[in-house]
Amino acid sequence: MILIVDDRPENIFSLRSILELHSFPVDAATSGEEALKKTLKQKYALIILDVQMPGMDGFEVAEILSGNSQTKDIPIIFLSAVSTEKKFITKGYNSGAIDYIIKPIDPDILLLKVKTFIRLYEQNRELNLMQENLRSEIEFRKKTEQQIQEKAQELHGILEAIPHIAFTASSTGIIDFVNDNWYQYSDSIAKFIPSHPDDPSISAQWNDAILSSRALETEVRIKRLSDDVYHYHLLSLLPVKENDSIVKWVGTYTDINEQKLAAKRKDEFLTIASHELKTPLTSIKAYVQLLDSVTPEKTDTKPFVDRTLKQVNKLDNLINDLLDISRIESGKLRFDLHETDFDQLADRTIEMLQQIYPDIEMHREGTAGVKVLANEVRLEQVIINFISNAVKYSPGSKELHVITKLSPGGKVYFGIRDHGIGISDKDRESIFNKFYRVSDSGSTPQGLGIGLYICAEILRRHDAEFGLESKLGEGSTFYFMLPLFKN
């Protein structure tokens, strides 16, 4: 918008006509005072200012405008009746653009000057805007940088205070901070704490974690610089995210040596105890079986002999499981795999289980019709465990489904679906771990939590995939998928 200031309405009229004809929006004031009032309310791109006016003249108006930060940059074109020295005209108005036109006005010259000044004003405004944006961008960056620094300092303070070895690394895995404890194990921030030569490589695992953006948790043995003894530590590496992208990694080493030694002592005890128990139990079992075979049916003692045999068998299974665990731990769970007809193996096992659980209806769905590479005894053990669990953890349910099919991936799928208590998502992740039991299974029977751990190990040795699907309160499906036998 252009403001025309002139005490003569006819002058305003002619100027307005010229400018409006060329699409410039125009406003007008008939005195200096009115012009000043208007500039406070409205932003003008240019003021065309008559020099000779009664009351406040053009120079005074310009002087006041130049003193106000809001108006000082508005370009001014003075209108003067007489040819006046430019130096004189610029009096009192030293900042901003300025020019003059002698009356009578030549419309072409006026338009040329107006266009130039408007363009100048626009450019100036854009420049100012850019400068303003730049200033706030710099402010914002400074503030963010300061916040990041404060956060990092806070984090470093916390990491210094904890008893663990702790460090942080950039999003690409370059270590940029280590706490004091680090230096008991490494002499430099640039040298990652070396782990036992027999432990899996940390750098490979770490690279994987960074590439997949996933947290890492692994057990490693490390030793103090002052020491020659390796201690077990749990190394955990967690990503720190901001707006869903990783900005940092925080790593800690927690000393778990005591727990590891205690677990080792417990395993050793279980191994010794189960071996010691196995020998006398084998004799007891043999004697009870003998007693059972010589006790005539329908005598008073027969039910007691039957019950004793049943309990002895339970104890025998339990001790066999414990022995299996110690074999797994010591890497001595060894068995061979042979060409095996899967359907025959499944039929035989289920038939045997049907006799143990005569009240449960086991619905068979599908057959495999193929051979697999398996150890029959061990695979039977897995099926027995899955089905026994399905019965055990489905109180009140009288049926389960046994599903056999060839999976699209060219494997034999075998699943047991029950209608039992089900398993929560949280428990599902750990259910195949050693000694893991669901803590809240209500009044349902509880075992030792070793059956599935052994199954998992057996299935791994078969190169099988395995898992479960489950919904709490609705039931579970435990399954495995075995590779086919290939000649």
Q: For the CB of residue 482, give the shortest distance to ligand ADP in the complex, in Å.
A: 20
Distance CA 304, CA 312 (A): 12
Nearest distance from C-beta of residue 418 to ligand ADP, angstroms:
5
Q: Are 222 and 185 in contact, with CB atoms under 8 Å apart? A: yes
Residue 127 DSSP code: H
Between strands 26-29 and 2-5, the pairing is parallel
Is 47 or 353 the residue whose CB approaches ligand ADP more closely?
353
- Closer Cβ to ligand ADP, 216 or 387, answer by number: 387
Residue with smaller CB distance to ligand ADP, 239 or 420: 420
* Contact of 187 with 225, CB cutoff 8 Å: yes
* Strands 399-407, 411-417: pairing kind: antiparallel
Q: Are 367 and 402 in contact (CB under 8 A)?
A: no
How big is the CA angle at 68 (ends 67 and 71), to the nearest 5 degrees?
A: 115
Whether 468 contacts 414, CB under 8 Å: no
Say whether residue 476 binds ligand ADP (CB under 6 A). Answer: yes
Task: Kindly indicate which of the ranges 14-22, 202-210, 240-248, 445-453 contains the residues binding ligand ADP, using the contact rule CB under 6 A.
Answer: 445-453
* Stretch touching ligand ADP by CB under 6 A, among 194-202, 253-261, 288-296, 440-448: 440-448
Nearer to ligand ADP, 20 or 399 (CB): 399
Determine if 96 is a binding residue for ligand ADP (CB under 6 A). Answer: no
Least gap, CB of 453 to ligand ADP (angstroms): 6
Question: Closest separation between CB of residue 336 and ligand ADP, Å?
Answer: 25
Q: Given the complex with ligand ADP, which of 44 and 453 has the nearer CB atom?
A: 453
Minimum CB distance to ligand ADP, residue 471 (Å): 11
Please calculate the CA angle 365-317-326 and round it to the nearest 5 degrees.
110
Residue number, 404 or 470, with CB nearest to ligand ADP: 470
Minimum Å gap between C-beta 430 and ligand ADP is: 9
Q: Does 32 bind ligand ADP (CB under 6 A)?
A: no
Site string for ligand ADP, 348-387 (x = CB under 6 A): -------------------------------------x--
Angle at 223 between CA 219 and CA 229, to 5 degrees: 105
Rounded alpha-carbon distances, angstroms, from residue 96 to 91, 93, 121, 238, 474: 13, 8, 9, 59, 81
What 3-state class would DSSP assign to 15? helix
- Cα separation, 347 vs 364, in Å, equals 9
**Helix, strand, coil percent values for the chain (each to nearest 5):** 45, 25, 30
Give yes or no for residue 451 binding ligand ADP (CB under 6 A): yes
Count of residues that interact with ligand ADP, criterion CB under 6 A: 22
Q: State in angstroms the smallest separation of the CB of 423 from ligand ADP.
A: 5
Q: Does 441 bind ligand ADP (CB under 6 A)?
A: yes
Q: What is the CA radius of gyration of the chain?
A: 45
Q: Can you tell me the distance from the alpha carbon of 179 to that of 160, in angstroms, rounded to the nearest whole number?
A: 5
Query: Is residue 181 a contact residue for ligand ADP (CB under 6 A)?
Result: no
477 near ligand ADP (CB under 6 A): no
* 431 touching ligand ADP, by CB under 6 A: yes
Residue 415 lies near ligand ADP (rule: CB under 6 A) = no
Question: Toward ligand ADP, which CB reaches closer, 37 or 314?
Answer: 314
Between residues 335 and 436, which has the closer beta carbon with respect to ligand ADP?
436
Q: Return the number of the residue (321 or 343) whose C-beta is nearest ligand ADP.
A: 321
Of 238 and 360, CB closest to ligand ADP: 360
Phi, psi of 159 (to 5 degrees): -65, -25
Nearest to 389 by CA among 306, 324, 479: 479
Please identify the residue of the shown chain whose CB is closest to the bound ligand ADP.
447
390 is a contact residue toward ligand ADP (CB under 6 A): yes
- Give, as one character, the DSSP assignment of residue 266: H
Please state the closest distance from residue 450 (CB atom) to ligand ADP, in A: 6
Residues in contact with 143: Cβ distance below 8 Å, sequence separation at least 6, in sequence order = none
Contact 375, 335 (CB under 8 A): yes
Binding status of residue 420 toward ligand ADP by CB under 6 A: yes
Site string for ligand ADP, 324-343 (x = CB under 6 A): --------------------
Q: Using CB under 6 A, which of the segments 87-95, 245-253, 348-356, 446-454 binds ligand ADP?
A: 446-454
Among 156, 164, 401, 437, binds ligand ADP (CB under 6 A): 437
Residue type present at position 306: D
Task: Let me know: does 210 contact 173? Beta carbons within 8 Å.
Answer: yes
Which residues have CB under 8 Å from 20's CB, separation 6+? 26
Quick check: 447 and 438 in contact, CB under 8 A? Answer: no
Please identify which residue in 92, 366, 447, 467 interacts with ligand ADP, judged by CB under 6 A: 447
Number of H helices, E strands in the chain: 12, 17
**Binder among 98, 438, 458, 482 for ligand ADP (CB under 6 A):** 438
Residues that bind ligand ADP (CB under 6 A): 385, 389-390, 393, 418, 420-421, 423, 431, 436-438, 441, 446-453, 476
